[in-house]
Chain A
């Protein structure tokens, strides 16, 4: 259901055009490399990206640990998948977390976070709507929680970034509202640079005929501000404590 065009659009664009010294719209797409790259070329590009990510995996993970640490993440691992849940439980215990919310990416099937937390006496709530939970209650649950845990879609070594893509089973607030946050990063999710990520994103956009995720977040460390006297303070509106668990 396409949304209506704004009534002022045509006149607005015409004024812009005239300011640029033209009276007619362009007949063709302007020549710009990142816009021009058609599907086959983008597929080729992404194949190169994937191959590079594959061979550079060990180096990228090492770099990610460095850049993430520099960005004030607490970095754990890489640990084996069967040990990762215990690492999460240990962090949660250390934080004295009582109310834990998590999302439901695939990684939670491989890493039994719920089990490990339960053994430590902590119960985790999946912050998602379903048979037993109405969407309207999610906000309150997120704001009451003291720890949020999510998987990621990718991690970026260049900047110490976790890419979190809210969707079904992944609420926007899980990684945002609680004062502490844990991201679970699997080795094959680690990319080298932002260029890698955006090459993949554009291909996905082209293949789905223009559809993109409604919301994506780059999370690169704790919430911070320096708005008072340029003094760095951690944890304003988002989590002040952020842990990244790398899973081999």
Chain B
């Protein structure tokens, strides 16, 4: 199985990548890391710069298309490959076909664990009261909401306490967060309030984009909540 670390994890949150490897190895998965990988191209695609996005996406397909399984610790990047590559290569039959083939074998991490490995108890030693935030692309583009919850509930030392409106966006939205920081923060305020209302000490999500955004405000304001990637919780480090 080939790991696509995603550029956020590779460059900003390597500990999430390490946790992903630890977790998958504990489940006896042979993890490889194709070192030519860079980025899926989502940031340019979302900005409207499809020429640049397509160029980077072709590189991504070159790197990964020979693999049997491609796993990413991100719903957003997985959605880019599985859903939005089809839009990106709409007018290019050859690349469209490649994109479809790659999309079919690409899985977000918790989707891979629950639906391919068919495991829900990953043997994590983690403890605590956690609440789960549904990252938008994971939930709405990939339809994944039960899988991460099953895995969290499968950790004996962890109790899952749902927050109100867990499926409502946190206000990140990639470019949106830098283009309209005032709106982004206003949306985040509601998410942080929901997290507080849950009473949990840790908020878990499957995307480093949401986490970076939530954590940025949690740390700036000195709120007593941890925002961690699900791989970290499940690895139990």
Q: Is A–B contact present in the complex under a CB 8 A cutoff?
A: no
